[in-house]
Amino acid sequence: MATFRLPTVLNEVIRAHNNQLIRPIKPKNGVNSFVFPCRKMVFNYCERSGSSKAMMVYLQKEALEFAKGNPQIEVIVQPRPSKHPLIRAFYTNGKQKTKTVRRCSIEEIPEVVKSLRDHSGHKLRRWNKYVLSDTPSVRGIFSPFHVHQEHKITDQKPQK
């Protein structure tokens, strides 16, 4: 006698229906939704170091406003003894970007934070091609400057 087994996908659906399995939803952009690329920012500073003075002033005055203005980003402040201050950003694609702010003034730190917040997490690369396509054209990109003859549309028939 043959035994019948359900495919694993059906087993998952049946267990999900019984509230035994809840799969995590992968965030993705689409209609009426936007997933912010930056998910977490970590501010590291040293309490005794002179290079961390501007960072400590920023954390005391402006970091709370930044955290309230960006509720989608998890903000973590950690002391890092005997090290230069740095800001580390973690992105939804699994990448991270780190910037040291040891020589930055109090006015420059919000700009660094904003640039890390607005970054997508992908590596910066040079775009050599103007059009990105899965199926590139054999003839190339159309340009009106490469047409040899002018074509005029008229109602008259050509004379013989």
Give pLDDT tens digits for 2-49.
Answer: 444 544 544 555 555 555 444 555 666 666 678 889 999 999 999 998
Average pLDDT over residues 85-89: 96
CA nearest to 59, candidates 36, 75, 40: 75
The region, left, alpha or beta by phi > 0 then psi within -120 to 50, assigned to residue 91 is beta
How far is Cα 103 from Cα 84, in angstroms, rounded to an integer? 9
> Quick one: pLDDT at residue 10?
47
> Quick one: pLDDT at residue 12?
55
User: Which alpha helices (DSSP H) does the chain contain, by range?
Assistant: 8-17, 53-61, 63-69, 109-118
Q: Between these two residues, 103 and 135, which has the higher pLDDT value?
A: 103
Mean pLDDT, the chain, rounded, equals 79
Average pLDDT over residues 107-131: 86
Are 110 and 101 in contact, with CB atoms under 8 Å apart? no
